Amino acid sequence: MTKLDDIVGRQKPGAQFVLSAPMLGMKIDEFDQAATQWAQHGGPGFKAVGVPFRKVIDGVFLIQRITVVRLPD
């Protein structure tokens, strides 16, 4: 996930920012799976904060974007 690493790497420790499926070039269902893991366990260099934004697609709620905070190095 080079795009993810690039985006996280540009943030200052403690910065709050949003990750979304289009930003990472992922399909919404792929992003939903990754974001679910990030919300539960954190991601590479960040942790999730707040409630993920979900969108209904074909009757299923999928995470479309998630707010995260960069962890200290």
Task: Note whether 65 and 29 are within 8 A (CB).
Answer: no
Per-residue pLDDT of the chain (73 residues; tens, 9 = 90+): 589 999 999 999 999 999 999 999 999 999 999 999 999 999 999 999 999 999 999 999 999 999 999 999 8
Q: What is the pTM (predicted TM-score) of this model?
A: 0.89
Q: d(Cα 17, Cα 53) in Å, to the nearest integer?
A: 13
Task: Please report which helix (H) or strand (E) contains residue 30, including its range.
Answer: helix 28-41
Residue 35 burial (10 A CB sphere; 0-12, 13-18, 19+): buried
Q: Map out the domains of the chain as residue ranges.
A: 2-70
Residue 42 burial (10 A CB sphere; 0-12, 13-18, 19+): middle
